[in-house]
Amino acid sequence: MPTSLSQCAQALAEEGVRHHVDAEEQAIRVAFVTRHYRNLRGERLAIVRIETPDDGHRCRVSIGRAFAVGADPDAACGRLCRLAADTPLIGLEFDADQEDLRMVAEIPVEDGAVTRLQLLSMVDRLIEAAEVWHFALTPAARDSRGDRNVA
């Protein structure tokens, strides 16, 4: 039984999470105010996108344009890939055409629908990883907390 966007939206609503369902893009967007992570505009805000690709046989949660690639995309991707390898359930995707680094969590959906707990756990892990990775990638953030030896 595949999962649908409406099931994901219902799970978010039951948990009291404000969200926007974009039927045209077949995605749900949820905005989270963050403690440390800053998006590319410098805002303490993460926009999480929830999708159910493969006719609902996968549930995918992502933060698009999560981090700037900077002058050396290879080095940025290398640092993020090392962080992703140390972060269970969180992956990284790079779209060279868009210079887009996306943080991703996804699970296959086989015999049943994604549960509310599974969906919320994926979102939570993604936001938590963005907060931690921010310190590893941002020298000013490391310096402000006095930890200059991270990453």
Instruction: Measure the CA–CA gap between 71 and 140, rounded to whole angstroms.
Output: 18
Beta bridge mates, 119 = none
Burial class (CB in 10 A: 0-12, 13-18, 19+), 129: buried
What does the pLDDT look like over 96-116, one tens digit per residue? 777 778 999 999 998 778 899
Backbone angles phi, psi at 77, to 5 degrees: -65, -40
What does the pLDDT look like over 26-63, one tens digit per residue? 999 999 999 999 999 999 999 999 999 999 999 999 99
DSSP state of 38: -
DSSP state of 72: -
pLDDT of amino acid 73: 80
Fold of 5-145: Yope Regulator; Chain: A, (3.30.1460)
Interacting residues of 48 by C-beta distance below 8 A, sequence separation 6+:
29, 30, 31, 32, 61, 62, 63, 123, 126, 127
Neighbours of 99 (CB within 10 A): 13
To the nearest 10°, report the CA torsion of 121, 63, 135, 88: 40
What does the pLDDT look like over 53-97, one tens digit per residue? 999 999 999 999 998 877 888 888 888 889 999 998 999 998 777
Instruction: Measure the CA–CA gap between 122 and 128, rounded to whole angstroms.
Output: 10
Give the start-to-end residue ranges of the domains of the chain.
Answer: 5-145
